[in-house]
């Protein structure tokens, strides 16, 4: 029970990161300026990357 609630918390954090990252990426997607690319690469992509890592960690930590 405890591990499932911990997993839920991590899933929630991962989902929040994914939403934030994907929204940033979506907002910069149509931009045709180097700044749009930079925001995509330096803000959006790391947030999405973090969400994926947290999600994978939540799977591994529950398996333990």
Partner 1 sequence: MRRAPSRCWTMISTDTVAVVLFLVSIALAAVLLARPALTLTREGKILAFCGLFLLPILSSAIGLSNHVERSKQTTFCLSCHIMQPYGKSLFVDDPQHLAAAHFLNHRVPADQACYTCHTDYALYGDIRAKWRGLRHVWVQYLGQPPAPEAIRLYTPYNNRECLHCHLGARSFEESPVHSAMRNDLVSNQMSCLTAGCHDTVHDVADLGKMKFWKGAP
As a whole number of angstroms, the distance between CA 44 and CA 51 comes to: 11
Largest pairwise CA distance in the chain: 49
Q: Does 15 bind partner 1 (CB under 8 A)?
A: yes
* Total residues in contact with partner 1, by rule CB under 8 A: 35
Interaction pattern, residues 24-63, with partner 1; x per rule: CB under 8 A: -xx-xxx-xxxxxxx-xx--xx--x--xx--xx-------
Enter the tokens of residue 8: 């839920």
**Considering just the CA atoms, what is the radius of gyration of the chain in Å?**
14
State in angstroms the smallest separation of the CB of 41 from partner 1.
8
The residue from 2, 12, 57, 64 that contacts partner 1 (CB under 8 A) is 12
């Amino acid at each position: 029970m405890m591990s499932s609630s911990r997993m839920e918390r991590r899933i929630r954090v991962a989902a929040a990161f994914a939403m934030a990252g994907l929204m940033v990426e979506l907002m910069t997607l149509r931009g045709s300026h180097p700044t749009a690319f930079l925001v995509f690469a330096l803000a959006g992509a790391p947030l999405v990357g973090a969400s994926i890592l947290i999600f994978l960690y939540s799977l591994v930590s529950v398996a333990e």
